[in-house]
Each structure stands twice: as C-alpha cells, then as structure tokens.
C-alpha cells in the first residue's frame, strides 16, 4: 500500500513538472499605457520586448503597499487574449520604477535597474514627442 501511494505522488509530481515545462510561453502582443494626459499603445517588437523583460524580472517587495496615483495605468494583452492590468510607477529622473498588479494591489513588484532604465528611456521618448 505504501508503495502505491509513493508511486501515485511521484506520478502527480511528474505530471505537474511536465505541464509547467511544456506549457506555451505567454507572448505579449500589445501594451497600452494611460495617464491623465496621454494614451500610448505599443505593438512593435522592440518595445514589447522591453516590457516583457521588465515584467518577467520583477522582484516582489515584502509588506503591504500604500502609494499614490500611478504614472501610468498599464494594460498588457497576451496572444491568448489574456489581459493583465498594472499600475506603473516611474521616476524618470532616477530611472527607477515599480509595478503593482491590479489583481494583487497590496504587492509591489520592483523593476530591476536595467529594465527600469530601458523602460524609462522608452517612455521618455514618447513624453518628449507629445
């Protein structure tokens, strides 16, 4: 009996690992940003890659978050039509920022320095061209 339960648990773990490894990668197809004065949508490969890298490399910050209004409301649309909404907080002077996923508004997601700089540079281009 013990052997059967160990075998069952091993099989379940194996199936979960296979599912995680085989699961298709979510591909971003567009990112829309909205502020009080601006509405921007990115669909080009280079910009999408900057957002994708930034989202994938965030670090969760421990503790609850209480912040003011975001720099941008960000809507990320994936190829499978999934839509995820974030609040993006960006300090353009210091080129650092963080995200808060709207579905988990008490967790701050800190952007890595390199990703934050790339994102600030990308967004600054649009801010200067307004």
pTM higher than 0.85, yes or no?
A: no
Q: What percent of the chain has pLDDT over 70?
A: 90
Rounded to whole angstroms, the Cα distance separating 55 from 83 reads 14
DSSP 54-85: HHHT-EEESS-------SEEEEEEETTS-EEE
Residue 127 has pLDDT above 60, yes or no: no
Whole domain around residue 37: which residue ranges?
26-128
Answer whether 46's CB lies under 8 Å from 52's CB.
no
Kindly state whether residue 9 falls inside one of the protein's structural domains: no
Kindly state whether residue 19 falls inside one of the protein's structural domains: no
CATH for 51: 2.60.40.4400
From the number of C-beta atoms within 10 Å of its C-beta (0-12, 13-18, 19+), residue 84 rates as: middle
Residue 7: pLDDT band (50, 70, 90) is confident
pLDDT digits (tens, 9 = 90+) for 44-100: 999 999 999 999 999 998 877 778 899 999 999 999 889 999 999 999 999 999 999
Kindly state whether residue 92 falls inside one of the protein's structural domains: yes
Kindly state whether residue 88 falls inside one of the protein's structural domains: yes
pLDDT digits (tens, 9 = 90+) for 97-107: 999 999 888 88
**Mean pLDDT across 114-128:** 85
Kindly state whether residue 17 falls inside one of the protein's structural domains: no
How many structural domains compose the chain?
1
Rounded to whole angstroms, the Cα distance separating 20 from 17 reads 5
Residues 63, 68, 72, 75, Cα dihedral to 10°: 50
Bridge partners (DSSP) listed for residue 101? 86
């Amino acid at each position: 009996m013990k052997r059967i339960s160990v075998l069952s648990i091993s099989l379940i773990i194996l199936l979960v690992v296979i599912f995680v490894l085989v699961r298709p990668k979510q591909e971003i197809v567009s990112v829309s940003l909205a502020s009080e004065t601006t509405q921007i949508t990115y669909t080009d490969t280079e910009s999408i890659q900057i957002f994708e890298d930034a989202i994938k490399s965030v670090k969760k910050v421990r503790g609850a978050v209480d912040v003011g209004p975001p720099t941008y409301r960000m809507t990320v649309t994936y190829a499978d039509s999934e839509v995820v909404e974030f609040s993006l907080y960006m300090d353009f002077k210091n080129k650092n920022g963080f995200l808060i996923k709207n579905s988990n508004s008490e967790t701050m997601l800190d952007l890595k320095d390199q990703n934050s700089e790339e994102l600030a540079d990308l967004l600054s281009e649009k801010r200067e061209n307004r």
